Structure 1
Amino acid sequence: MADLTLTRHFAATPERVFEAISRPEALLQWWGPEGLRVESDTLDFTRLGPWGSVMINADGARYKVTGQVTHVDPPRSVGFTWAWHDDTDTRGPESHVTFTVEPDGSGGTLFRLSHVDLADEDAVANHNTGWSSSLTKLDALLAT
């Protein structure tokens, strides 16, 4: 198993960042790498239970990921399981994601993404690319 940790600083307050990383209407604005659109009726990290999303690229290829929200601790953290589905909609190996939000002492926020129990270093590299692109979109959303 392999792990990925990404850290970002956002100029927004921890409460604003937590809202953006947990509420469905905000998640849909930044979720998924740049160039993909997202379909979801269960992308919600405000409560425990199932979640899911389908990301669609410009060619119409669909990438489905689902899991369970395992904890919600406003405005500090949210955690959820994560598993991709294959072309037959079979759910693959499960990993776990935690978003952590901390005040930075100057009115901004230190944000940490931890994605653990990934299959191997290739999975870490792929998720690093996807999450980094998604966090670029989150930064843009928080700047508005």
Structure 2
Amino acid sequence: MRPTIAADEIGRAAADDTGGRFATLSFERDVAAPTTVLWQAWTAPAARAVWAAPSPSIAVAFLEADSWVGGREVSLCKVEGRPEIRCEVGWLELQPPARSVNYEMISSKGVTRSAALVTADIRDLGARSRLSVTVQLSSLADDMEAGYRQGFAAGLDNLAGVAERTMVLERVIRAPRSAVWAAWMNPEALPQWWGPDGYSCRTKRIDLRKGGEWVFDMIAPDGTVFPNHHLYHEVRSEEAIGYVLLWGENGPKHADAWVSLADQGGATKVTLGMVFSTAAEFQEAKGFGAIELGLQTLGKLERFVQTA
């Protein structure tokens, strides 16, 4: 999470010798999403990139994004005409879907400004979830408490909105992770199983690598054609894929999506997540059965790898 760095604040020391440089901050949000969805929105790099900026005037560029214990996330926060702020997050504990602990280091021009320990707890409220975040802050160069309060408040508001338009599908596939990865990243194999039961894919271009794309038509059993365009921005071998879904070639964005693969004693847990561009698109997708159709797609993947 990034403290607020509005244009009139960047580069301006907020030091106040009469105030403390240490603070414990608490935040809480009730979110209209189940815990598994909120967890993905909180930890998945593709989702974090959607809600990370505390305000539209701030651009956040991710340089690294590895969400596992021992992994780190490095990003730059930019406001025109002001020095960049570097944020490094290191994951110390991940207990899905209930608890995470990470450190956060904020620096500018090579000088560390603050360090913080961030603990997030997610509680099941039925169809809703409660996110409680505690930030133990140490301001090394100046007092940044106010910025942290504003930044976390705005970021968690963004997160709540993102979680409420996020769809998460999970399936444990009885096949090794290497086999599942090969089926997903083989340009000949992917079109054979992608899509719900009865659907087929007609590929125009396919380049399954970071910076690559897949331009294809998905064809329904009744012959209806649905143009698709996937743009891949993250590919980590046998671990994760991040991509953007467009409505047809170079069309408007439909969703930010990700896939993660986790070994489960010789089987593979597959998580497919999507943050829809608008709440209306999310509701429309749910309405026509996107969850059920997506689970059918993962079922086709399992059948494919078991017969390959």
State TM-score, norm by structure 2.
0.42
Letter in 1 for 2:275: V
Pairing 1:52–2:215 present: yes
Structure 2 residue runs without a partner (length 5+): 1-161
Q: Which of 32, 37, 42 is the matching residue for 2:205? A: 42
1:94-125 alpha-carbon deviations (Å, 9 max, x no partner): 31111101111x21111111111343322245
The equivalent residue for 1:84 is 247
Q: CA deviation at 1:41?
A: 3.3
Q: CA deviation at 1:84?
A: 2.0
RCO greater where, 1 or 2, for CA within 8 Å and sep 6 or more? Answer: 1
Distance in 1, Cα, partners of 2:290 & 2:207? 20
Contact 2:180/2:268 (<8 A) preserved: yes
Distance in 2, Cα, partners of 1:43 & 1:127? 24
Distance in 2, Cα, partners of 1:58 & 1:123? 18
The residue correspondences of 1:1-144 to structure 2 (distance < 5 A) are 2-85=165-248, 91-104=251-264, 106-118=265-277, 119-125=281-287, 126-144=289-307
Distance 1:90 1:21, change over 3 A: closer
Q: CA deviation at 1:42?
A: 2.5
Larger Rg: 2
Contact 1:6/1:112 (<8 A) preserved: yes
Distance 1:43 1:134, change over 3 A: farther
**Count of residue pairs brought into register by the alignment:** 140
The farther-off stretch of 61-70 and 124-133 is 124-133
1:2-50 alpha-carbon deviations (Å, 9 max, x no partner): 1111111111111111111121111111111111211003244334222
1:47-95 alpha-carbon deviations (Å, 9 max, x no partner): 422222101123322111113101100010111100223xxx7823331
Runs of 4+ with deviation above 3 angstroms: none
Distance 1:32 1:51, change over 3 A: same
Tell me the SS of whatever aligns to 2:167.
Answer: strand
Alignment RMSD: 2.0
